[in-house]
Amino acid sequence: MNHLPTPENPLRIGTRASPLAMAQAHMAAAALIASHGIDLAALEIVPMTATGDRIQDRALAEVGGKSLWTRELDAALDAGAIDIAVHSLKDVETIRDLRFVLGAMLERADPRDRLVVREGIDAAKIADLPPGARLGTSSPRRAAQVKRIRADLETVLLRGNVATRLAKLAAGEADATLLAAAGLDRLGMHDVGSVQAAGLLPAASQGAIGIECRSDDRATLALLAAVDHVPTHLAVAAERAFLAALGGDCRSPVAAHAHWQDDGALRLDAEIFSDDGADHAAGHVLIDHPDAASTLAHDLLSEAPDTVRRLFAA
């Protein structure tokens, strides 16, 4: 593609078909239109159902991990059926196929979690939940963090898109759940749940939207460069470098968040946990050299007890 896309030769935007993924694909399209003045008719959104969306009754770790969210999009991108793929970066494997490259990240939204409770429960934070309450989640990070705050709480598997999880909550399958604030906001659910400001460091990449293309597609890479939010890209890259150095996978309870300080420095905060949250190691580092994130990962692993260290392959 040696020129801007046209209605006759549109840029095909691949996305999962879930409502949140579709909203994020439309955000990517809007960013491209704003940056390049592209005609809306020159952008074609191509939704597809990911394997991870089809499997709702088991944890990802049991059935293939994060690749279940990217497999179909990767195949379409590799085959030339789409030109770019829009992802929730939290759901994308840390180590990616070299055929693809993250050409852009949109500006990050609120990376925090919100606590959502079923009708009849009055709780704005985890500490307020009734004794022995059931908190539904499929995230090892959230499960470990919740158990660390309240060892009496029971964590139960709760999977599905946002609407599905809220419906399961309303049906009484759990008393509470944690959902990403960014996802709720992108769906217009600004008043759903209460933000958890303390005790719940986010997952790496939470709140970030990534746009991938083929590594050898220079024209599309040039298009994406104009919508790349560099501060977000640098922060999320630090978080993903930390994960890569840990050797963790979707079974590993890990939290990492890089943020820009008032003095212009990029600080990475991170925690790794045992499955039950009873043990953990936490630390932070300024991202002031290329190996800073991996150094933090190795430091946390070296000081972590075996109950934590055995969950990581580094």
Q: What is the pLDDT along the chain (314 residues), one digit of tens a residue?
A: 447 999 999 999 999 999 999 999 999 999 999 999 999 999 999 999 866 555 555 555 554 445 576 889 999 999 999 999 999 999 898 888 999 999 999 999 999 999 999 999 999 999 999 999 999 999 999 999 999 999 999 999 998 889 999 999 999 999 999 999 999 999 999 999 999 877 799 999 999 999 999 999 999 999 999 999 999 999 999 999 999 999 866 678 999 999 999 999 999 999 999 999 999 999 999 999 999 999 999 999 999 999 999 998 75
β-pair type (134-136, 154-156): parallel
122 is catalytic: no
Cα–Cα distance for residue pair 13/47, rounded to 1 Å = 8
CA distances from 113 to 46, 192, 303 (A): 29, 11, 27
β-pair type (84-88, 11-16): parallel
Q: What angle do CA 149, 150, 155 make, to 5 degrees?
A: 110
Closest to 151 measured CA to CA, from 170, 176, 133: 133
Listed in sequence order, the residues at least 6 apart from 207 whose beta carbon sits closer than 8 Å to its beta carbon are 90, 108, 109, 110, 111, 180, 181, 182
CB atoms within 10 A of CB 184: 23
Closest to 83 measured CA to CA, from 26, 11, 7: 11
Rg (C-alpha) for the chain, rounded Å, is: 20
Q: What domains are there in the chain, each with its CATH number?
A: 11-108+207-228 (3.40.190.10), 113-195 (3.40.190.10), 240-309 (3.30.160.40)
Closest to 140 measured CA to CA, from 314, 311, 313: 311
The catalytic residue among 91, 113, 217, 249 is 91
